[in-house]
Amino acid sequence: MHIHGEIVKPPMVKNTELLEVSYGCSYGKCRYCMFYKNTEYGISKLEDIEEDLKEIKEKNPDVERLFLLGGEPFSLPVKRLNKILDLINAYLPGVDIVMYGRVNSMKNKTVDDLAELKNKGIVNLVIGLESGDDEVLERINKGYDSRQAEEYLSKLNKAGINYSLIYIAGLAGHGEKNWSRNALNTAKLINKIHPTGLCLTMLYLNEGIPLYDEDLKNGDFTEAKMLEILKEFKLLLENINIPIHIFNEEAATLMSIKADFPEEKNYAIKFFDDKINSFTQEDEDFYELYRRPV
């Protein structure tokens, strides 16, 4: 298999294979990002993709799902994506296709382009929205604001493509005024655009990350405490009023929650309520070490 640099992927479901179609990230400017520091962006050659598909077909002819690798492969031009999907369908017809994208991946794609891609097997995209709050989006340099996020993500709804968004708690920093604004504005955006899923994760900062090296060290940014992060998650979920599947990054948050709204909304809120009510200084100290090991 052709693999360049680090592999970043969400939690995988059973019988999934990985296929590299790009590596690194074509954007690379998010100020909290810790990925692909040593991987220069590149697009995989079609010959390499074809060889890898042959290998997957031989090794696992009953594969059910392919996760396409790269920081945001859905940003590839429509023509290139079509070629990749045609190759996949030639070797593994009917396989479910999943990949990462950015909000801006849809900027230059029409609804018809997206519908054509969907018909070639894309069952889900995982998109790092991170926040629906303009102040946060500007600070972290995501390259779009909440109005653009609504416009570009709505194209996926129109094309019938399912997508899960990632939310990173802690990006608004310390202080109830900040994290509550972030949670409320993100919930407002989610209620408008109707993603299929929402993945909860939280901010990690360390050397080499601009938000740490510059903003935090200069005193322009103060990290939220873990108790604030739990309250931020709870406030976000309390204000989501659409059917949606909630899940989380277990390794990042050291907790495990899955809930289908609206049926399990009360359960999800109680989950965070219980954590908040039983939270101790010892828990705070533990998370502080976990989030930035010495």
Q: How many angstroms separate the CA atoms of 150 and 156, rounded?
A: 10
Q: Which stretch binds ligand SF4 (CB under 6 A): 27-35, 160-168, 199-207, 222-230?
A: 27-35
Other beta carbons within 10 Å of 49: 21
DSSP letters, 219-288, are: TS--PPPHHHHHHHHHHHHHT--S-EEEEE-HHHHS----EEETTTHHHHHHHHHHHHHT--HHHHHHHH
Minimum distance from residue 157 beta carbon to ligand SF4 (Å): 21
Q: Is 101 in the site for ligand SF4 (CB under 6 A)?
A: no
# chain residues binding ligand SF4, by CB under 6 A: 12
Q: Evaluate whether 82 touches 117 at the Cβ level (below 8 Å).
A: yes
Sheet containing 197-202: which strands, arranged edge to edge?
Answer: 16-20, 65-69, 96-101, 122-130, 163-169, 197-202, 244-248, 259-261
Closest approach of ligand SF4 to the CB of residue 32, in Å: 7
* Closest to ligand SF4 by CB, 10 or 28: 28
- Please identify which residue in 25, 98, 229, 230 interacts with ligand SF4, judged by CB under 6 A: 25
Contact between 72 and ligand SF4 by CB under 6 A: the answer reads yes
User: By CB under 6 A, is residue 265 in contact with ligand SF4?
Assistant: no
- CB crowding 103-123: b at 16 or more within 10 Å, else e: bbbbeebebebbebbbeebbe
33 part of the interface to ligand SF4, by CB under 6 A: yes
**Nearer to ligand SF4 by C-beta: 35 or 279?**
35
- Pull the structure tokens for residue 87: 């190759």
Contacting ligand SF4 within 174-233 (CB under 6 A): none
Identify which of residues 139 and 234 has a Cβ nearer to ligand SF4 in the complex.
139
- Reference 42, options 13, 2, 89, 92; nearest CA is 2
Closer of 69 and 236 to ligand SF4 (Cβ):
69
Contacts of 26 (CB under 8 A, 6+ apart): 41, 71, 72, 75
In the complex, what is the shortest distance from the CB of residue 142 to ligand SF4, in angstroms, rounded to a whole number?
A: 7
Question: Would you say 28 or 197 has its CB closer to ligand SF4?
Answer: 28
Which residues, at least 6 apart from 109, have a Cβ–Cβ distance to it below 8 Å?
Answer: 78, 117, 155
| Binding-site member from 70, 128, 132, 195 for ligand SF4 (CB under 6 A) | 128
**Element holding 80 (H helix, E strand):** helix 78-91
State how far the Cα of 71 lies from the Cα of 37, in Å rounded to an integer: 12
Q: Which of 102, 109, 118, 265 binds ligand SF4 (CB under 6 A)?
A: 102
Least Å distance, CB 3 to ligand SF4, is 17
Shortest spacing between CB 107 and ligand SF4, in angstroms: 13
Q: Does 71 bind ligand SF4 (CB under 6 A)?
A: yes
Query: Whole-angstrom Cα distance, residue 184 to residue 198?
Result: 15
Between residues 29 and 45, which has the closer beta carbon with respect to ligand SF4?
Answer: 29
41 touches ligand SF4 (CB under 6 A): no
Residues that bind ligand SF4 (CB under 6 A): 25, 27-30, 33, 35-36, 71-72, 102, 128
